[in-house]
A and B are shown apart, each in its own frame.
Chain A
Amino acid sequence: MSDVVKETVGEAVDIVEDRAPSERDHASSADHDLHDSDEHSHHTSLGISNTKLAMWLFLGSECLLFGGLISTYMLYRNRTSGDVGPDQLWDIPFTSASSFVLLMSSLTMVLAVSAAGRGDDRNTKIWMGSTAALGGLFLAGQVYEFTVFYREGLGYTDSLFASSFYTLTGFHGVHVAVGIIMLLSTLAMLAKGKISGDKAETVEMVGLYWHFVDVVWILIFTLVYLIPA
């Protein structure tokens, strides 16, 4: 009788022991999945970030937008009215300084991304703040430039040149403004600790957008300002 009991208990223990690892595995797997869904829910089965892929796709589509605006300006840059054309309006030293400011903002942005990658929150905030300030300076320069051009007689609907110029540079300015809003929002969320998931990737997304804005200005500066009509 005691042998039967021992055998039954032994079988029960075996069953429990057999189940225990699988239960532990299951529980561990569930935890892992939960952890993954919290921290890496944006990763695809290919192991790449959905967020990052979406940002790159967006930037690729933005090439078409700015390509259209730049091409339209190139077509109409000689269609001026009266004496108000690029040669009379452009202030190359001033625009060069603006370009330098935007270029340096790309440097501060890449330093912010680098600091975020190291988990250095303090420097991330400093560099992001610097980027937003330099972006603001560039935008202020553009507002000043538009004001001067308008006072010199270049209204938005005065000529095809004026319309295409204001539309191209205005769209770029709006992108800079959106970039500044993104930077300041991310900065505020970092300060309050409200970024869930990967902080470094969030900063990197803002960085990609900002560098794209800089890249577009590199084209505009040469094609619009430096190459004479």
Chain B
Amino acid sequence: MSDTTIESTDAAEHEDAGVHAGHGPSDSFFIKTALVLAAITALEVAASYIELGVMFLPILIGLMLIKFFAVVLIFMHVKYDTKIFGQMFWIGLSLAFFVYLVMLLTFQFFLK
């Protein structure tokens, strides 16, 4: 009985802190994150219709990266999970980024 009470109290404390009994944030936090991501997508689309000049590409790439990292860190729980899992992904991503950056440089993609 007392054990159950302790567990219930712990669960309530975690819930108050916005953290589930497992790990990671609460459902309401996920919903808020998704709404922010939807708003960023709307901004991206709006940016593609507006004449932003030289700022167009950096703004669009910036918004894309915010969405990318938000999904990986929050939805995929990289921020809340054991570090080694995220490291497996970051290693693959970094390798891909540098390999294909070299490929694009070799083909003079950025000079065209």
Contacts and interface: CB of A to CB of B under 8 A. Distances in A.
A222 to B, nearest CB: 4
Contacts of A53: 84-85, 88
Given A214-B71, A218-B64, A218-B67, A64 B85 contact: no
A91 B33 CA distance: 27
A60 B89 contact: yes
A156 interface: no
Contacts, number: 133
B72 A215 contact: yes
B88 A57 contact: yes
Contacts of A70: 100
A218 B45 contact: no
Nearest to A228: B48
B92 A62 contact: yes
A64 B34 contact: no
Interface residues of B, number: 52
B12 interface: no
A117 interface: yes
B37 A75 contact: no
A104 B58 CA distance: 26
A26 interface: no
A226 B45 contact: yes
Contact of B30 (A60, A111, A212): A111
A92 B64 contact: no
Contacts of B92: 57, 59-64
B91 interface: yes
Nearest to B61: A222
A209 to B, nearest CB: 10
A74 B109 contact: yes
A114 B27 contact: yes
Interface in B1-50: 20-24, 26-27, 30-31, 33-34, 37-38, 41-42, 44-45, 47-49
Q: Which of B24, B44, B95, B96: most chain A Cβ within 10 A? A: B96
B27 to A, nearest CB: 6
A114 B109 contact: no
Interface string B68-112: 100110011100001011101111110111011001100101001
A107 B34 contact: yes
B51 to A, nearest CB: 12
A110 interface: yes
B41 to A, nearest CB: 6
Interface of B: 20-24, 26-27, 30-31, 33-34, 37-38, 41-42, 44-45, 47-49, 57, 60-61, 63-64, 67-68, 71-72, 75-77, 82, 84-86, 88-93, 95-97, 99-100, 103-104, 107, 109, 112
26 contacts: A52-B85, A57-B88, A60-B90, A64-B92, A68-B100, A71-B100, A75-B104, A75-B107, A96-B41, A96-B42, A99-B41, A100-B41, A103-B41, A106-B34, A106-B71, A107-B34, A107-B75, A109-B75, A117-B22, A118-B21, A207-B76, A211-B75, A215-B71, A215-B72, A219-B64, A221-B64
